[in-house]
Amino acid sequence: MGIAVSGFQNITKSWSTRRIAAVAFLLAGLVGLTVLIAIGWRALGAAASPESARTLLGHIAAGAVTFITLLAGIGVALDRALAARAYDRRDLPARPEYYDYATPELPLHMEEISGRPLAALTFTVFDTETTGLRPSQGDEIISIAGVRVRGGKVCRETVFECLVNPGFAVPKPSIRFHGITDDMLEDAPPVADVLPKFHEFVGDTILVAHNAAFDMRFLKLKEHAIGKTFDQVVLDTLLFSVFLDRDADAHTLDAIAARSGVAIEGRHTALGDALATAEIFLHMLNRLEDRGSGRSIGRSASAMR
């Protein structure tokens, strides 16, 4: 039984919410019709006369039609709502993607650990949610989270998560993306208080993010204000994806998660995306190891250039 449940979870983890809802409604319809048929069969067997049996059969048929019509109506309404929600998300602009490390700050100190096995290193996988996509034009971090990866495992008990008050109203278009409202940030600390704590949490671990150049730009712009420098080595699952699946149609977090069989819980939340990125990163390390490129960070970096 446990194997069957596990197999079913592996099959459905990459399904969309619309597909899961459709299957659930289909199963509900089959179960409902089965129950109606069973009840009707027993009732027909106990009918006093052929005329009463025909009358009862008509009631059963009417009940079945009503049940199917009602279930179909609810299903169509739910599917349209889910489709509208999915379209609303797709309509949002994606984060700018970077396919090279032309930025001089990334990655730093690579030579210090270039010969060490990746599996022996400690990583902090992180993500941010922001007011917009232009850090150089005033957009700010409103949520940041990180999770430790050590010994080939995601340490879910070692996490950093904090909301950040940007000091101004969150633009409505970005609220559609991450769901973080002004009310949620009213009592949150400012970035000047949060980033030093995040810097301490990261320590000398290796930073990992998806589309890392985007998130790192927000951190780098705050270094002078907080008196801290984010000079850790930075790895990017976006670049790993380009290297491992160069012919893939997309290298978004959702696309990579689907290819890797990773379920994202809490999409577009800093912690949810960080946890998903951590699982994806471990999957990628295993693939790099199989290729012989994942034995050291230096070999992995040179392979992606």
| Residue position matching structure tokens 């709502």 | 81
CA atoms within 13 A on the CB side of 302: 11
Choose among 162, 297, 154, 286: nearest CA to 236: 297
197/114 Cα distance (integer angstroms): 27
297/13 Cα distance (integer angstroms): 31
**Reduced to 3 DSSP states, what percent helix, strand and coil does the chain have, rounded to the nearest 5?**
55, 15, 30
Question: Taken in order 231, 137, 97, 189, is the CA torsion positive or negative?
Answer: positive
**268: annotated active-site residue:** yes
| CB contact burial 8-20 (16+ within 10 A = b; e otherwise) | eeeeeeeeeebee
Choose among 202, 212, 207, 275: nearest CA to 238: 212
Kind plus residue range of the DSSP H or E element containing 268: none
Q: What is the DSSP string of 76-107?
A: HHHHHHHHHHHHHHHTSPPPP---S--STTSS
Choose the catalytic residue: 178, 199, 268, 283: 268
Chain centre distance of CA 219: 22
252/262 Cα distance (integer angstroms): 13
* Active-site amino acid positions: 268
